[in-house]
Chain A
Amino acid sequence: MSDTTLQTAAEEAVDKSRSRPLTRWLPGSAIGWLVPALLIAVWELLSRLGQIPANVLPAPSAVAAAAVRLTASGELQHNIGVSALRALSGFVVGGTVGLIFGLANGLSALSEKLTDTTLQMVRNVPHLALIPLVILWFGIDEEAKLFLVALGVFFPIYINTLHGIRSVDPQLVEMGRIYGMGSWELFWRVILPGALPSMFVGLRYALGIMWLTLIVAETIAASSGIGYMAMQAREFLLVDVVVLSILIYALLGKLADSIARLLERLSLQWHPAYRR
C-alpha cells in the first residue's frame, strides 16, 4: 500500500520538474532577475526605435556607457565609496545607540520610564524635516549626513529591539530562572534569541531608511557622493549619469537587504519560517 503511494508521489515530482523547464535550467535565485532583465531589454528596444527620447530616458546601453566612462575617470568608484562610507558610519552610530536604548529599556523598567516618553516624542518629528537646521549646524560637512542617517536609523532599531525583548515568552524566562540561570545567561540564552526575529525586522527597516536619508541628504547638501554626482549631472543635462546614479542607489539598497536577509537566515535557522 505505502509502496504504491510513494511511487506515485515520486512520479508526480518527476512530472512537475518536466512540466517546469524554467526551474530546471535556472537556479532559484536567478528567476528573480528574469523580469528586470526583460524590462531592460524592452527599454533598450524602445529607445533604439525612438519611442523613448534620449533626453527623457537614455537607453540602457547609454547608461552602461556612462558607467564605463565614469569608472575610467575614477569618479564612479570614488563617489560610491564616499556614499557607502557615509551610509555605513551613520548606520553604525544610529544602530548602536538604538540598540543600547532598546536593550536598556527592554530590560530595565527604570530606564524605560526615564527615556521612553522622550524618545517617542522625538520620533514624531520626521528626521528629514531637520535638514535646514542640520545645514545651519554643520553646513554641508560629513557630520550633517552622519547625523541625519544616524537619526533615521536609530528609531527602527530602537523600537524593534524594545518590542522584541518585550515579546519574549515570559514562560521561557520563568523556565530559565527555575533552572538556575543568572541574569547574564538568561539574557544570552533566552531573551536575546527570543528578541532576534523582531530585531531583524528593525535592521531591514533601518537599512531602507538609511539609503533614503542618504539620497535626500546628498542631493541637497553634499560635495561628493552618488547624490552629488546626480545633481552635478542634472546641471549639465547628463541624463545618462542621473539614471546611472538612481540605479546605483537601487543596487546598493538591494545589496544591503540581501546581506541582512542572509544574516537573518543564518541566525534564525531554528525558526520554522526561515528554514529551507
Chain B
Amino acid sequence: MNAVAAAISRREGRFPSAAPVQAHGNARGVPVTLRGLAKSFGPKQVLKAVDLHIPAGQFVAVVGKSGCGKSTLLRLIVGLEQATAGRVLIDAEEGRPSGARIMFQEPRLLPWARVRGNVEVGLDRSLATSERRLKAQDALAEVGLDDRGDEWPAVLSGGQKQRVALARALAGHPRLLALDEPLGALDALTRIGMQRLIESVWQQQGFTAVLVTHDVAEAIALADRILVIDEGRIAADLPIDAPRPRHRGDPALAALEGRILDRLFNDQGSGI
C-alpha cells in the first residue's frame, strides 16, 4: 500500500493545482483535491485515506465493485456527506461547493412542475422570471428537448427525464458536475446517445466531471482518467489518452477494458 501512496504523491506532483487547464477545457472547471479523505458509517469504514487531485476540466471516471464506496466518494466531493477525516478542497477551498451539481441514477424531477419549471430549479433565484425562462429554454435546447418544456415529467420516457435532469444540472453552468451512475437505468441505445450528449456538453462547457459508473466501457468512452476503487482506497489510477471522439470496438480500448475488468474481479492481478 505504500507503493500506492507513493504513486499518489507522484501524481499530485504531476498535477499541481496551478497547472494549466487541458487543451479541451476552459476556465470554467474547478480543480478538486482530496487529502486523506476517510468516511465511516458507524463501525463500517467505507473510505480509508483517499488522496486525489483532479485538475480543472478533467473528466474522471470512477469504477469499482458495488458497495465499494463510489457514491460515498461522490457525495463527499459535492458536500452531501461529512468526512470522518481528511479534507475536500474545491478550487483550493473547503466547504460546501456552490458551483457543484450532482446527477443521480433517478432523475429526481419534481412531478408537479412542468419540464421547464424543473430546469429552472437549477438557476440562480435572483434572476428575473423572463430571464429564467430564457435560460431554462437554452438548457433544454442543449439536451435536445426544446419542444417539451410545457410537458409534465410523467409523460416523458426514462431517457428524456434524465436529459431534463442534465439540463437542470447544466442550467446554472456548474464548475463541477458529479454523475452517480446517471445512465444505469437506461437501455443500451439510449445510454450511448446520452454518453455522447454528456461528452459534448462537457467539451463545450469545460466543467470538471466525475462520473461513477459500473460500465467500464462507458468509463473508457468518456474519461480522461479512470480510478478503480477497492477496499476503500484508489487501487488504480489510469490515464486514457485515446483521442476523441472514441470509437467503440477500438482494439486498444478493448484491451484496456479487459485489463480493468481483470483488475476489478481479481484482486491479486496488479498488472496495471
Contacts and interface: CB of A to CB of B under 8 A. Distances in A.
B80 A270 contact: no
A269 B98 CA distance: 34
A188 to B, nearest CB: 11
Contacts of A194: 112
A179 B122 contact: yes
B152 A270 contact: yes
A175 interface: yes
A172 interface: yes
B102 interface: yes
A272 B154 contact: yes
B106 interface: yes
Interface residues of B, number: 19
A171 B108 CA distance: 7
Interface in A156-197: 171-172, 174-176, 178-181, 185, 189-190, 193-194, 196
B125 interface: yes
B108 A189 contact: no
A134 B106 CA distance: 53
B121 A179 contact: yes
A178 B112 contact: no
B108 A271 contact: no
A169 B122 CA distance: 19
Contacts of A190: 110
Nearest to A194: B112
A175 B152 contact: no
A178 B78 contact: yes
Interface string A193-224: 11010000000000000000000000000000
A165 to B, nearest CB: 15
Interface string B70-105: 000000001010000000000000000010011010
A270 B122 contact: no
Contact of A193 (B78, B112, B153): B112
Interface string B11-47: 0000000000000000000000000000000000000
B113 interface: yes
Contact of B80 (A178, A269, A271, A275): A178
Contacts of A178: 78, 80, 101-102
Interface residues of A, number: 20
B67 interface: no
- Which of B113, B121, B153 has the most chain A CB within a 10 Å cutoff? B121
Task: Give the dominant DSSP class at A's interface.
Answer: helix
Given A178-B78, A178-B80, A270 B112 contact: yes
Contacts of A269: 152
A264 B10 CA distance: 63
- Which of B101, B108, B112, B122 has the most chain A CB within a 10 Å cutoff? B112
B111 interface: yes
A174 B104 CA distance: 11
Contacts of A180: 98, 125
Contacts of B154: 270-272
B119 to A, nearest CB: 11
Nearest to A176: B121
Nearest to B111: A270
Contacts of A271: 111-112, 154
Contacts of A176: 121
A189 B152 CA distance: 15
Given A270-B152, A272-B154, A175 B108 contact: yes
Interface string A243-276: 0000000000000000000000000011110010
9 contacts: A172-B108, A174-B80, A179-B168, A180-B98, A196-B112, A270-B113, A270-B153, A270-B154, A275-B152
Closest 8 CB pairs of A and B: A193-B112, A175-B108, A270-B112, A270-B152, A272-B154, A179-B121, A171-B108, A270-B111
